[in-house]
Chain A
Amino acid sequence: MPKRSIGFAQAGTQVCLSWFRLSIMKRFFIHVYELTAFSLRFFKEVFLPPYEFGEFADHLQNFGSRSFPLVSVIGLLMGLILALQTKPTLARFGAESFLPAMVAISVVRELGPVITALVVAGRVSSGIGAEIGSMKVTEQIDALEVSSVDPYRFLVVPRVLAGTIALPLLTAYADLLAVLGAYVFMFISGGMGWQLFVTSTVSSLSISDIVPGIGKTFFFGYIISIVGSYFGFRATGGTEGVGKAATSAVVFASFLILIMDFVLVKVGILLFE
């Protein structure tokens, strides 16, 4: 769009809207527009050489090692708490034997993917936002550009790819630990042998629980990395800008994960039920 028409558009809207409303609206739309453009660019760049295999491997490892301890603890606790919460209720109806199924289904379908994604977003989105943000404010991204290295392809693509692949694995692992956590609780509270527990867990789960549950984590992993990168690239100013990038990344990523979850649950219901 020629620059002239920006002037006209702005002048026109300024007549209609107060300055306050304009600036808020403008900020919002700029945000939506830029994040969309930034995210879509990934699908173009990911297929183009040069492929940064080394970077990809590093970030996959980074993503995993940053999240692994946290996800382990959260996974176990998730199962424990869920069992703790539901056992008395189920017991009241004499339905205690349904507990493994209840835990398994709620963890695999919903809690595992969403809680893991939110926890990892807190860890990784902020990390990526700060990393790329500090490269931005110290002109390292400019330096990449001047060396004819596309910063998007070099910094964003490997990170997003790594996130998209790592999160489903982490979620599967968290799901397993949650089931284990529930079993530990059942064992301690003297309810159930492990054979019965395992059989009723396995038989309660069907492919239509597992596929949508794990499937949506590909989207969450993508969101975690792309939002972190996006805010990193937008960072301006000094160290303060880096801090802001990290915080905004977590807030936005968490928000988008929940929105995406809503959409995907809806889609999942249409597809699998």
Chain B
Amino acid sequence: MVKLFGNLRVSTIPISSYSNVPTFQYSVLLPYKAMIEIINLHKSFGDLAVLSGLTLSVARGETFSILGKSGTGKSVTLKCLVGLLEPDAGEVVVDSTRVDIYSRKALSEIRKKTGFLFQSGALYDSMSVLDNLTFNLSRHHKVTHAEAKEKSEHYLTLVGLSEAIGKMPSELSGGMRKRAALARALVIEPQILLYDEPTTGLDPITSAGISELIRDMQGRFGMTAIVVTHDILCAGIVSDRAGVLKDGLLKYTGTLNELAEIEDEEVKGFFRNPL
């Protein structure tokens, strides 16, 4: 059947295959212990196979960094995790809920506890920076308008944008937009955070500050996070474990110290020139 847009999807699962599919109600009985579990994920666009057998498990409260050259499918992996892209095959489980099996309600529950920093920022350009932050807060997280405003201002200050609160996204520089988007992802204080290149395009000093902030948030709220990055310094600050995405799967995983020992030109490349 014709694939519509992400939000207008006709179920493509034949009834018969529901029998061995875990549904929302039974999820507690499932053997998925980790907060985020990706098993044998495949995704291609036409002839281009982007992910072929990616497997990843991130424990509750853990932060995992995905390193990889551009175009290897890092953003695609994150999008599969929140149901923005539909995997061709494999299992994607977040907080014991299958997200690759399209159920609007289950997906919506997962999304409410997930913060997502888009690589491009994706600020709503019809709204001011402040409204970008309060929008999500006041919709799903039962807070008054004043509380939402106060909280948003707090997070904008944390990312160093206190002076840009009333500005429109079009008035911000690239780095400022990125930081505003980061504040938007953090402000809902979610259990799960997915960062797509949080420090790309920022100067080294701001980068370090942002990495510290990410680390700090994790410590304070016990978030589970995946950080996609090229920035080995950032990965060093924020992550418990890391993996290198290559040829459609996580070729090497381990702590950063373990990765640094690996005899692979590409992996060495990440460590050679820390920015």
Residues of B within 8 A of A41 (CB): 8
Closest chain B residue, CB of each to CB of A144: B124
Interface residues of A in 1-17 (CB under 8 A from B): 1-3, 6
Residues of A within 8 A of B10 (CB): 1
Residues of B within 8 A of A135 (CB): 124-125
- Closest approach, in angstroms, between the C-beta of A77 and any C-beta of chain B? 33
Closest chain B residue, CB of each to CB of A30: B2
Given A30-B2, A138-B120, A142-B122, residue A147 in contact with residue B139 (CB < 8 A): yes
Segment at the interface with A among B108-116, B206-214, B219-227, B266-274: B108-116
- Closest approach, in angstroms, between the C-beta of B97 and any C-beta of chain A? 14
Residues of B within 8 A of A151 (CB): 7
- Closest approach, in angstroms, between the C-beta of A45 and any C-beta of chain B? 11
Q: How many interface residues does chain A have, given as a range?
A: 20 to 34
Residues of B within 8 A of A1 (CB): 1, 10, 12
Given A140-B125, A147-B136, residue A152 in contact with residue B118 (CB < 8 A): no
Task: Assess the A147–B6 pair: CB atoms within 8 A.
Answer: no
Given A41-B8, A140-B125, A142-B6, residue A147 in contact with residue B118 (CB < 8 A): no
Task: Assess the B139–A145 pair: CB atoms within 8 A.
Answer: no
Residue A33, interface by CB 8 Å: yes
Scan A107-151; emit 1 where CB is below 8 A from any B CB, else 0. 000000000000000000000000000110011111111111111
- Closest approach, in angstroms, between the C-beta of B5 and any C-beta of chain A? 5
- Closest approach, in angstroms, between the C-beta of A37 and any C-beta of chain B? 7
Interface residues of B in 104-158 (CB under 8 A from A): 108, 111-112, 114, 116, 118, 120, 122-125, 135-136, 139-140
Residues of B within 8 A of A148 (CB): 108, 111-112, 139-140
Residue A173, interface by CB 8 Å: no
Scan A201-242; emit 1 where CB is below 8 A from any B CB, else 0. 000000000000000000000000000000001100000000
Task: Assess the A138–B140 pair: CB atoms within 8 A.
Answer: no
Task: Assess the B108–A3 pair: CB atoms within 8 A.
Answer: no
Residue B31, interface by CB 8 Å: no
Residue B46, interface by CB 8 Å: no
What separation, in Å, do the CA atoms of A232 and B38 have in the docked complex?
A: 32
Residues of A within 8 A of B135 (CB): 147
Task: Assess the A34–B2 pair: CB atoms within 8 A.
Answer: yes
Residue A38, interface by CB 8 Å: yes
Task: Assess the A146–B2 pair: CB atoms within 8 A.
Answer: no
Closest chain A residue, CB of each to CB of B194: A146
A143 touches which of B12, B14, B112, B122 (Cβ 8 Å): B122
Scan B1-19; emit 1 where CB is below 8 A from any A CB, else 0. 1101111101011100000
Task: Assess the B14–A2 pair: CB atoms within 8 A.
Answer: yes
Closest chain A residue, CB of each to CB of B140: A148
Task: Assess the A142–B84 pair: CB atoms within 8 A.
Answer: yes
Residues of A within 8 A of B122 (CB): 138-140, 142-143
Task: Assess the B125–A147 pair: CB atoms within 8 A.
Answer: no
Interface residues of B in 1-54 (CB under 8 A from A): 1-2, 4-8, 10, 12-14
On B, residues with C-beta under 8 Å from A are 1-2, 4-8, 10, 12-14, 79, 82-84, 108, 111-112, 114, 116, 118, 120, 122-125, 135-136, 139-140
